[in-house]
C-alpha cells in the first residue's frame, strides 16, 4: 500500500472511533423520556427514574382518558442523590373530565393504586424537552453552598400560565425550584 492510502485508511479508522465515542456519550447523557423504551428496560433498572415512572403510569392514564396529560409527579419516599426512586405519585388530567384527575401511585416500581380524584389543574406532555430529576438535582448542587446538600425528594408541577414544567428539589431546609425545560 502506498503512503497516501495508509494515511487515508488511518484517518477513516480514527473518524470511525470518534463517531462511535460520540454516539456512546450522547446516549449515556440522554436521560430524557423515551416513549420507545420497552417495559423490560423500565422494570430492569435498580431504581426508577421519573421518566420511567411516568411512562408506566401513563398507560393507566390513557385507559382512563385518551387525552390524559400529566399535571403533577412526586417521589413518595427518599430518593437516591441522582433523583431516582421506586415510589412515585402522579396526577393526570383530561380536558374531557374537568375538575377531576387520575391519581396513580407506584410502589416498588409497580402501580398499587389508581383512582379518580377531585383535582383542578392543567397538564402537559412530560417528554424529551425536559431535564430529568437527576439533572435538576445537579443544577441545585452547582449553587454556592448547596454542593453537599442532601436531597429528600423531588416533584414536578406544570405551570399552565407560563407553559412550563418546574422541578422542586426538596431538602431538609427548603424546596428549591428548577425550570425543567432544556
C-alpha to C-alpha distance for 53 and 74, rounded to whole angstroms = 10
What is the per-residue pLDDT across 45-71, written as a single tens digit (0 to 9) for each? 466 788 888 889 999 999 999 999 999
What is the per-residue pLDDT across 12-29, written as a single tens digit (0 to 9) for each? 676 666 655 565 554 433
Is residue 50 assigned to a domain? yes
Average pLDDT over residues 26-47: 42
User: Do residues 73 and 54 lie in contact, with contact meaning Cβ atoms separated by under 8 Å?
Assistant: yes
3-class SS of residue 110: strand
Is residue 7 assigned to a domain? no
What's the domain range around 123? 39-179
- Listed in order, strand segments (DSSP E) in 7-131 are 69-75, 88-93, 100-107, 110-118
- Give pTM, 2 decimals: 0.71
Is residue 172 assigned to a domain? yes
Is residue 99 assigned to a domain? yes
Predicted local distance difference test score (pLDDT) of residue 168: 92
For cell 380524584, the residue is 117
Comparing 168 with 13, the larger pLDDT belongs to 168
Number of domains in the chain: 1
Please give the torsion angle defined by the CA atoms of residues 14, 20, 24 and 30, in that order, rounded to the nearest 10 degrees.
Answer: 110
Is residue 34 assigned to a domain? no
Amino acid at each position: 500500500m502506498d503512503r497516501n492510502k495508509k494515511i487515508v485508511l488511518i484517518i477513516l479508522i480514527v473518524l470511525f472511533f470518534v463517531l462511535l465515542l460520540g454516539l456512546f456519550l450522547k446516549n449515556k447523557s440522554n436521560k430524557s423520556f423515551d416513549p420507545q423504551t420497552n417495559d423490560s428496560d423500565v422494570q430492569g433498572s435498580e431504581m426508577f427514574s421519573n421518566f420511567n415512572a411516568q411512562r408506566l403510569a401513563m398507560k393507566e392514564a390513557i385507559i382512563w382518558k385518551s387525552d390524559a396529560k400529566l399535571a403533577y409527579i412526586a417521589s413518595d419516599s427518599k430518593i437516591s442523590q441522582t433523583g431516582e426512586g421506586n415510589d412515585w405519585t402522579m396526577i393526570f388530567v383530561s380536558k374531557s373530565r374537568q375538575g377531576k384527575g387520575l391519581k396513580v401511585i407506584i410502589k416498588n416500581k409497580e402501580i398499587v393504586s389508581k383512582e379518580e380524584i377531585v383535582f383542578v389543574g392543567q397538564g402537559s406532555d412530560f417528554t424529551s424537552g425536559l431535564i430529568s430529576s437527576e439533572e435538576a438535582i445537579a443544577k441545585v448542587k452547582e449553587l454556592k453552598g448547596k454542593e453537599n446538600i442532601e436531597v429528600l425528594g423531588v416533584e414536578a408541577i406544570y405551570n399552565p400560565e407560563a407553559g412550563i414544567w418546574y422541578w422542586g428539589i426538596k431538602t431538609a431546609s427548603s424546596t428549591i425550584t428548577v425550570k425543567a425545560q432544556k
